[in-house]
């Protein structure tokens, strides 16, 4: 009996093998696995692994082989070395991952020269996608959240004046610039703009927030990298009693990453963010995604917006492999095949804009609430459909080139 | 309250709380470096270990935050003796460079170990009700946790000051810092003394690590992220000086807070500028021996 | 004088041996060819790994500059990244803002600017020693970084200066994806600088530095201009660190403010101590062993590789007190002794 089954399987394999040439596609994954930002790398890596585990059959008879490398600190140097070697030494055909913008900026000439498609799963500085025709981004640009938040804060949350506080590195400046552009266009006024130190260390946020509290704006727009900083913001905000003092906490979704939300406590309740994902988003794909995630990583592990982007990234890569029937040697064909790709993922409907190779997605204004089961969660206040990267739409600064 | 007075009070209060954290972690480092001239770059790793002990105790065993802090301090202090006896002891006569290499190596290993057991996601601790929110002192309100930090810091300073300046052991430590050979020749067991101060210093670091979770969050990199800051406090205060470390922590804590509050654009600049200014004038720090 | 003639022949012999040793110390020993042979062999054996090889060479050069001040003059600094960063930004800003893209003149410019910074800061700071000096040098590097961030419109901040393009070397050798040109370029620069450093170390000036390291008071007592010599060697080392930084920017075609990080200063120091200080080749062994191990371990386990590096450092301290090179020397001596005995 067993023998017959084996025979059947072998026959099946033979027929499949003869109809299509089975290819093994080598994918290089570059994420920060060590150092202060290791947590971000792991959020994406888990999503990659999960997608591959569940969907390997989708691309049969082809297979993927994953080569993982540590992206290192956000200097660009380590990422450049390991990625170049993934191309020259390991001969990978597709690159993905990349949490830090400097990595993507440093790698543009390499990728362009090597003609290897690089599918960015996080790095959010707006103008990155202009740097190489081999870049495709499935995460977001800082403008995706910041710009619509400007108008929403003015008209729906009731912020007439706002203070900006941001971690002093390019994504922080990018995000606050996006918010300011949208907010001032809607008629709001920015009182105060406070840089809060380098991303390397989590600072004590209290002095910065105390100053904002003393200036009494209606709202405080905060950008911080979504790692260890996020919890610190919620705590300092709560400790200073700023909500009582009438200063609302708003920002991009990096303020409340799902995997840290439960730790933030009551202080986070009432925070309003603009973002593309939360575990509480109500759609079938997201529910399935969460169920699989908990099954694989336990009930206390949560995916966050980075994981959702990672999931869609691997989805796009798999669909492209299927579409090209495993023939991914030609990088420009891979990019062409990805242009216009669309799906309903955990984040809802996402599309790769054929013109900019950047993502088009729905943006949700979300408020943190205490759910009936006692856990923290979010409530969607409003949704803007099919949001593009406004920086490239308006051709602001480097986005115009 | 008038606007400027309000600002001044804010800066003083937040600066004081921050200074207490700096003092609690740095004082042990200062005394061990002063006593044995031992450069212990793994000091931050003991602080991190303390933080994780507090996380485990509060989260997994449901022990309260304050008892967990105490347990963590004693546990890490006790474990540090093993390191001191087993590893550090062999390098007292070695050069600074070798000590740097050993302790940086230990810090790296500690980071990887913490990542293995606790994962890279930053941890936080559940605080008791009375440490959340703010307390009203009539003229204005203050965050309770920071008030707690200041009070705790003040108590510790009083206890340490008494132990350092008024007890027999304290006198022996001061004598050994001043002149080790002399102290040994009059029969003070400097080795034992050092083990003791090392344990106390590591325990205090662990306490500081536990207290820092609420301020900065706790991830494995804590072992090295704030190390430079502790070293600065030690250098500005003067090696082995209790008074100096306290003064340095106060000055740096308050000036750093003021810089962030008043001129955030160059927030990180002030600590280093002050460090350079002080050390150029007083190379051995406030109370160090020239 | 008569006494020296009646001295017993054995001591005379020993004295002559010592003199001969002093005279021939600076001659090239055959073993010195080894690292260079390995570096050239690596080019042919690992043609696909030259990007990594190039990073190693840059770190060797950086560690070599540190050896000059730490190993030979005994100056312990945690701010050496300041000069590396200045060099890196000299060619980076030169290319991005002034269109100065010729690489070799860029190296000279970087060396000059970094050396000048070394001269100024060295003149002020080298009066101090120990922890004070550590903190002062560290603060200098971080203040440069903060200044760069304050003017990120000019410096590019933490996002760096992207898309730098440099002219082909001598107008002929362009940069390739495999980094082979870069590797050869870096190796030649390293060899030239190394020759220069070796000359310094074995010159009377180099001997005076060693004297300062071993006993400052005595050097003062014999009227040696200690401070001036320290500042001189600090300036030279800063210039070399600047060249290393410039090479880093040129071969990466990218630079961010993180080159000024404390981590960068600390790492190069760890590499040097690991290899062995005051031996010239310690920089080679330390940087190569550290980086190759880091590379292998981080492939093996991207998350926990730091444990292996940490263990290496701890073991090195416990069992190889004078660095890996010291360990090799001991092994060499031991073998020789065995040979003599048998």
CB B259 within 8 A of CB B267: yes
Give the Cα separation of B196 and B209 in Å (integer): 20
- Is there a contact between B211 and B4 (Cβ–Cβ < 8 Å)? no
Is the CB of residue C229 less than 8 Å from the CB of residue C205?
yes
pLDDT band at A6 (very low <50, low <70, confident <90, very high): low
Write the residue in B115, B120, B134 that is nearest to A239 by C-beta: B134
Is the CB of residue A132 less than 8 Å away from at least one CB of chain C?
no
- Reported as a single tens digit per residue, the pLDDT across C48-98 is 888 899 999 999 999 999 999 999 988 889 899 999 999 999 999 999 888
Radius of gyration of chain A (CA): 22
Q: Please say if the pLDDT value at position B41 is more than 60.
A: yes
Taking the CA of residue C197 and the nearest CA in chain B, the distance in Å comes to 22
DSSP SS3 for A314: helix
- Top-confidence residue, A7 or A17: A7
Average pLDDT taken over every residue of chain C: 87
Touching partners of A (3+ C-beta pairs < 8 Å): B, C
Stretch C22-43: mean pLDDT, rounded? Answer: 82
Helix (H) or strand (E) holding A387: strand A376-387
ipTM higher than threshold 0.90: no
For residue B115, give how far its alpha carbon lies from the nearest alpha carbon of chain A (Å): 9
Chain C residues with beta carbon closer than 8 angstroms to that of A200: 261
| Interchain CB contact of B177 with C (< 8 Å) | no
Query: Are the Cβ atoms of B273 and C143 closer than 8 angstroms?
Result: yes
Question: Cβ contact (<8 Å) for C298 and A69?
Answer: yes
The predicted pLDDT at position C324 comes to: 83
Question: Smallest Cβ distance to B272: which of C124, C142, C313?
Answer: C142
List domains and CATH numbers for chain B: 3-281 (1.10.3470)
- Tell me the pTM: 0.88
Q: Is C283 helix (H, G, I), strand (E, B) or coil?
A: helix
* Yes or no, beta carbons of B219 and A214 under 8 Å apart: no
Measured between CB atoms, does B108 come within 8 Å of chain C? yes
Nearest to B115 among C274, C303, C313 (CB): C303
CA atoms within 13 A on the CB side of A52: 17
Interchain pair A108, C162: CB under 8 A = yes
pLDDT band at A350 (very low <50, low <70, confident <90, very high): very high
For helices B242-262 and B3-36, the axis angle rounded to 10 degrees is: 140
Dihedral pair phi/psi, residue A191, rounded to 5°: -85, -40
Phi, psi torsion values for C173, nearest 5 degrees: -85, 105
Check whether B140 has a pLDDT greater than 60.
yes
Residues of chain A positioned with their CB less than 8 A from the CB of B257: 204, 206-207
Check if B82 contacts C (Cβ < 8 Å). no
Residue B81: name the closest of B191, B231, B221 by CA.
Answer: B191
**CB contact (8 A) between residue C306 and residue B100:** no
Please state, in angstroms and rounded to a whole number, the distance separating the CA atoms of residues C305 and C293.
9
> Residue A202 has which token pair?
């989590």
Length of chain A: 401
Contact: A204, B18; criterion CB under 8 Å:
yes
Contact A42 B121 (CB under 8 A): yes
Fold of domain A143-275+362-400: Rossmann fold (3.40.50)
Residue B241 to chain A, least CA–CA distance (Å): 26
Q: Which residues pair with A66 in a beta bridge?
A: A27
Preferred mutation among C45, C47, C50, C51 to probe A, highest tally of A CBs within 10 A: C51
In three-state form (DSSP H/G/I as H, E/B as E, the rest C), the secondary structure along chain B is CCHHHHHHHHHHHHHHHHHHHHHHHHHHHHHHHHHHCCCCCCHHHHHHHHHHHHHHHHHCCCCCHHHHHHHHHHHHHHHHHHHHHHCHHHHCCCCHHHHHHHHHHHHHHHHHHHHHHHCCCCECCCCCHHHCCEEECCCCEEEHHHHHHHHHHHHHHHHHHHHHHHCHHHHHHHHHHHCHHHHHHCCCCHHHHHHHHHHHHHHHHHHHHHHHHHHHCECCCHHHHCHHHHHHHHHHHCCCCHHHHHHHHHHHHHHHHHHHHHCHHHCCHHHHHHHHHHHHHCCCCCCCCC
Q: Lowest mean pLDDT: which of B133-137, B160-164, B236-240?
A: B133-137
- Please give the interface size between B and C, counted as residue pairs whose CB atoms are below 8 Å apart: 115
Residue B267 has pLDDT above 80, yes or no: no
Range of weakest confidence among A300-304, B136-140, B242-246, C317-321: B136-140
Find the mean pLDDT for residues B170-199.
87
3-state SS assignment for residue C173: strand
Give the residues across from C186 on adjacent strands. none
Chain B: residue whose CA lies nearest to C76? B97
Instruction: Select from A211, A195, A219 the least CA-distant residue to A365.
Output: A219
CATH class of the domain comprising A2-140+283-357 = alpha beta
Contact A228 B217 (CB under 8 A): yes
Q: Is the pLDDT of residue C200 over 70?
A: yes
Q: Is B182 on the interface with C (CB under 8 A)?
A: no
The answer to whether domain A2-140+283-357 and domain A143-275+362-400 are alike in fold is yes
Distance CA C178, CA A87 (A): 9
Q: For testing the chain A interface, which of B107, B217, B258 should be mutated: the one with the most A CBs within 10 Å? A: B217
- Suggest the residue from C263, C313, C315 to mutate for an interface test with chain B (most B CBs closer than 10 A): C313
Q: Tell me the domain boundaries of chain A.
A: 2-140+283-357, 143-275+362-400
Burial status of residue B182 (CB atoms within 10 A of its CB: 0-12, 13-18, 19 or more): exposed
Q: Output the pLDDT for position A17.
A: 47
Q: How far apart are CA A146 and CA C324, in angstroms?
A: 53
For A225-267, the three-class secondary structure string (H helix, E strand, C coil) is: CCCCHHHHHHHHHHHCCCCCCCCEEEEEHHHCCHHHHHHHHHH
Angstrom distance (rounded) from CA C160 to CA A77: 11
Q: Do A113 and C258 touch (CB under 8 A)?
A: no
Residues of chain C with C-beta less than 8 angstroms from the C-beta of B30: none
Is cis: bond before A61, omega within 30 of 0?
yes
In the predicted model, is pLDDT for residue C1 greater than 50? no
The predicted pLDDT at position A18 comes to 46
Q: Which is it for the CA torsion A8, A10, A15, A19, positive or negative? A: positive
Does B92 contact chain C (CB < 8 Å)?
no
The average pLDDT across B191-202 equals: 90
CA dihedral angle for residue C197, residue C199, residue C203, residue C206, rounded to 10 degrees: 10
Neighbours of chain C (3+ CB pairs under 8 A): A, B
Q: What is the mean pLDDT of residues B7-32?
A: 91
- Binned at pLDDT 50, 70 and 90, residue B191 comes out as confident
C258 → closest Cβ in A74, A80, A173: A74
CB contact under 8 A, C150 and B269: yes
What residues of chain A lie within 8 A of the CB of B15, using their CB? Answer: 207
CA distance C101 to C96: 9
């Amino acid at each position: 009996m067993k023998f017959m089954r084996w025979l059947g399987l072998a026959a099946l394999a033979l027929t499949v093998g003869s109809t299509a040439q089975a290819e093994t596609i080598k994918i290089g994954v570059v994420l920060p696995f060590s150092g202060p930002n290791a947590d971000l790398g792991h959020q994406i890596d888990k999503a990659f692994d999960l997608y591959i585990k569940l969907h390997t059959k989708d691309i049969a008879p082809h297979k993927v082989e994953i080569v993982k490398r540590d992206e290192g600190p956000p200097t660009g140097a380590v990422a450049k070395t390991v990625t170049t070697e993934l191309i020259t030494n390991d001969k990978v055909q597709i690159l993905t991952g990349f949490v830090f913008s400097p990595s993507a900026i440093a790698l543009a000439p390499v990728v362009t020269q090597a003609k290897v498609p690089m599918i960015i799963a996080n790095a959010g500085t707006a103008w990155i996608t202009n740097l190489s025709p081999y870049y495709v981004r499935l995460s977001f640009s800082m403008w995706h959240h910041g710009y619509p938040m400007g108008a929403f804060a003015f008209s729906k949350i009731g912020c007439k004046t706002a203070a900006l506080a941001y971690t002093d590195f390019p994504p922080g400046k990018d995000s606050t610039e996006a918010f300011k552009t949208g907010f001032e266009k809607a008629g709001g006024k920015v009182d105060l703009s406070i840089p809060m130190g380098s991303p390397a260390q989590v600072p004590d946020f209290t002095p910065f927030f105390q100053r904002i509290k003393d200036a009494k704006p209606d709202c405080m727009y905060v950008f911080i990298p979504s790692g260890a900083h996020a919890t610190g913001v919620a705590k300092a905000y709560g400790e200073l009693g700023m909500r009582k003092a009438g200063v609302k906490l708003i920002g991009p979704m990096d303020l409340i990453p799902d995997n840290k939300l439960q730790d933030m406590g009551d202080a986070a309740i009432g925070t309003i963010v603009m973002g593309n994902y939360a575990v509480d988003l109500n759609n079938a794909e997201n529910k399935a995604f969460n169920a699989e995630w908990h099954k694989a990583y336990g009930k206390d592990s949560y995916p966050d917006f980075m994981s959702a982007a990672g999931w869609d990234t691997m989805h796009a890569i798999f669909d492209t492999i299927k579409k090209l029937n495993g023939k991914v040697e030609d990088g420009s064909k891979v990019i062409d095949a990805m242009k216009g790709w669309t799906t309903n993922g955990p984040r809802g409907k996402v599309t790769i804009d054929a013109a900019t190779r950047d993502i088009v997605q729905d943006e949700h204004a979300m408020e943190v609430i205490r759910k009936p089961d006692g856990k923290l969660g979010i409530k969607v206040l409003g949704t803007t459909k099919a949001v593009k990267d406004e920086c490239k739409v308006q051709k602001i600064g480097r986005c115009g080139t | 309250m008038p606007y400027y007075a309000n600002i001044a009070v804010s800066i003083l209060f937040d600066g004081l709380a921050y200074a207490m954290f700096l003092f609690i972690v740095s004082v042990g480092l200062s005394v061990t470096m002063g006593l044995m001239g031992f450069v212990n770059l793994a000091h931050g790793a003991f602080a991190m270990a303390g933080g994780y002990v507090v996380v485990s105790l509060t989260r997994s065993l449901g022990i309260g935050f304050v008892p967990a802090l105490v347990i963590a301090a004693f546990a890490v202090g006790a474990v540090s003796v093993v390191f001191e006896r087993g590893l550090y002891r062999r390098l007292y006569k070695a050069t600074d460079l070798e000590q740097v290499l050993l302790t940086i190596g230990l810090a790296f290993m500690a980071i990887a170990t913490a990542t293995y057991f606790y994962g890279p996601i930053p941890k936080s601790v559940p605080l008791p009700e009375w440490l959340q929110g703010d307390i009203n002192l009539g003229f204005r309100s203050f965050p309770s946790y920071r008030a707690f930090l200041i009070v705790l810091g003040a108590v510790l300073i009083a206890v340490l000051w008494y132990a350092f300046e008024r007890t027999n052991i304290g006198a022996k430590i001061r004598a050994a810092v001043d002149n080790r050979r002399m102290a040994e020749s009059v029969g003070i067991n400097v080795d034992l003394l050092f083990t003791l101060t090392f344990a106390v210093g590591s325990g205090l670091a662990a306490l500081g690590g536990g207290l820092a979770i609420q301020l900065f969050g706790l991830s494995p990199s804590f072992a090295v992220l704030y190390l430079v800051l502790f070293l600065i406090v030690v250098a500005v205060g003067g090696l082995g000086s209790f008074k100096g470390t306290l003064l340095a922590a106060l000055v740096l804590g308050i000036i750093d807070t003021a810089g962030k509050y008043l001129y955030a654009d160059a927030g990180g600049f002030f600590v280093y500028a002050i460090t350079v200014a002080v050390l150029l004038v007083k190379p051995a720090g406030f109370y160090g021996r020239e | 004088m008569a006494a020296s003639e009646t001295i017993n022949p054995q001591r005379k012999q020993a004295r002559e041996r010592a003199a001969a040793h002093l005279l021939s110390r600076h001659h090239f020993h055959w073993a010195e060819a080894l690292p260079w042979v390995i570096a050239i062999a690596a080019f042919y054996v690992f043609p696909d790994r030259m990007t990594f090889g190039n990073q190693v060479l840059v770190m060797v050069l950086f560690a070599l500059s540190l050896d000059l001040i730490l190993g030979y003059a005994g100056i312990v600094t945690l701010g050496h990244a300041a000069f590396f960063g200045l060099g890196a930004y000299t060619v980076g800003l030169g290319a991005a803002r002034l269109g100065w893209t010729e690489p070799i003149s860029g190296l000279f410019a970087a060396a000059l600017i970094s050396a000048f910074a070394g001269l100024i800061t060295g003149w002020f700071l080298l009066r101090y020693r120990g922890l004070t000096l550590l903190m002062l040098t560290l603060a200098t590097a971080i203040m440069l970084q903060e200044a760069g961030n304050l003017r990120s419109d000019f410096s590019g901040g933490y996002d760096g200066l992207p898309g730098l393009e440099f002219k082909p070397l001598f107008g002929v050798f362009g940069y390739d994806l495999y980094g082979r040109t870069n590797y050869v370029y870096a190796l030649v620069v390293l060899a030239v600088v190394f020759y220069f450093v070796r000359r310094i170390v074995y010159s009377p000036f180099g001997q005076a530095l060693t004297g300062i390291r071993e006993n400052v008071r005595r050097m003062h007592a014999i009227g040696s201009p200690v401070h001036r010599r320290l500042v001189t060697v600090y300036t030279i080392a800063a210039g070399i660190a600047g060249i290393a930084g410039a090479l880093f920017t040129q071969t990466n075609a990218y630079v961010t403010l993180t080159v000024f990080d404390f981590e960068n200063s600390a790492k190069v120091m760890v590499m040097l101590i690991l290899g062995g200080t005051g031996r010239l080749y310690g920089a080679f062994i330390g940087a190569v062993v550290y980086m190759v191990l880091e590379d292998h371990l981080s492939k093996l386990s991207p998350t926990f590789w730091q444990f292996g590096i940490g263990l290496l450092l701890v073991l090195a301290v416990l069992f190889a007190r004078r660095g890996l090179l010291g360990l090799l020397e001991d092994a060499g001596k031991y073998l020789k002794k065995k040979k003599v005995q048998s």
